[in-house]
Amino acid sequence: MISVRLAPADLARVRFVERPHPVGAAVLACQALRDPSVAALLPALADRGASVASALRPLWHLLPARGRLPDFLTPYDGLDSVEVGIEAIRATPRRRIRAELAQVYARMPTSPWRRRLAAGDRDVLDVLTAALRRFFDAALAPDWTNLTAAHRHRVARAAQTYALSGVDGLLAGLHPSIRWRRPVLEIRSWWSADLPGTGHGLLLMPDPLAGPRPRVLVEPGRPVLLVYPAALPASVHPRPSGVDPLTRLLGGTRAAVLRRIGEPGRHTTTSLGDDVGISVSSASEHTAALRAAGLVDTVRAGRAVVHRLTPLGLYLLARAQDVG
């Protein structure tokens, strides 16, 4: 049991993350899917992860199959895109890597690769982050738009709860493994501790791919971060083939961009970056590639550029849905 004693300053600054964290979600989902019972509940994600199993072996070896993960792999920074999240991981000081992995590896057999990562070896860290990027592209990117939309819906519902019952009603209804006894938040997690709040607020992150138990990150000068399980959106459907044909053709992120452009609404480069969970520069690169392939048209509207599918793009998207 983790007990976090929240100060009045923390309770005055309770908020949700703006959108799902791409790298954090990849880390948590990759671990959660190693549990057969979780994988059975998420067959589409499990199948897509299995399609890149060879690339994930270093990740599986370096991280535990269940339980506590090193906090530096789920950084506060990195909401903008996978790239930004990976840069935040790579910027972690060696001292912190050693300290956090010493706790994680205390219950795991030693190996040369684990010793090198625990020593802050940047080459091994590169292998780990490359595997995370591959997992995100293969398993999460095809559904990232749906996951982002579901997150925004949860935040809207939470705002209504807060408006009707205040912070006590909000915190009391987060998850069965979280109990609110003002001013203490009790969390049934993978480890036990009595922690003070930071005075910088409480940051809530519901995550349908987090696994069965909530997780807590407390760092001085930062808000307390609470990640807790949430329901998977109904729009994330299993694919009978186990592999999304559009992802196989275009790659996970580019397929997600194409799908988003095919949805109702006005899609600018900035909005695509927000919706798909990538940087604006990355969204620009993907739309340029889709435009060069004849799948997307781009027109200028004032200071923005707006993207829409061409007849060929519409046909490709429809065919991929029929096959998938």
- What's the pLDDT tens digit per position in 10-54? 999 999 998 889 999 999 999 988 888 788 878 888 899 899 999
- Cα–Cα distance between 69 and 77 in angstroms, integer? 17
Mind listing the pLDDT tens digit for each residue in 204-221?
999 888 878 899 999 899
Q: Give how far Cα 315 sits from Cα of 4, 31, 54, 310, Å.
A: 53, 36, 33, 9
Which residues make beta-bridge pairs with 161? none
Contact 139, 29 (CB under 8 A): yes
pLDDT above 70 coverage of the chain, percent: 94
**pLDDT confidence of residue 264:** 65
Contact 38, 184 (CB under 8 A): no
Beta strands 14-16 and 215-217 are unpaired
- In the 3-class helix/strand/coil scheme, how is the chain assigned residue by residue? CEEEECCHHHHCCEEECCCCCHHHHHHHHHHHCCCHHHHHHCHHHHHHHHCCHHHHHHHHHHCCCCCCCCHHHCCCCCCCCHHHHHHHHHCCCHHHHHHHHHHHHCCCCCCHHHHHHHCCCHHHHHHHHHHHHHHHHHHHHHHHHHHHHHHHHHHHHHHHHHHHHHHHHHHHCCCCCEEEECCEEEECCCCCEEEECCCCCEEEEEECCCCCCCEEECCCCCCEEEEEECCCCCCCCCCCCCCCHHHHHHCHHHHHHHHHHCCCCCEEHHHHHHHHCCCHHHHHHHHHHHHHCCCEEEEEECCEEEEEECHHHHHHHHHHHHHC
**pLDDT confidence of residue 243:** 57
Stretches where the chain sits below pLDDT 70 are: 232-244, 264, 321-324
**pLDDT confidence of residue 184:** 97
- Cα–Cα distance between 286 and 249 in angstroms, integer? 14
Indicate whether this model's pTM tops 0.85: no
Contact 16, 205 (CB under 8 A): yes
Q: Domains (ranges, CATH) in the chain?
A: 2-16+145-229 (no CATH), 22-141 (no CATH), 245-323 (1.10.10.10)
**pLDDT confidence of residue 287:** 96
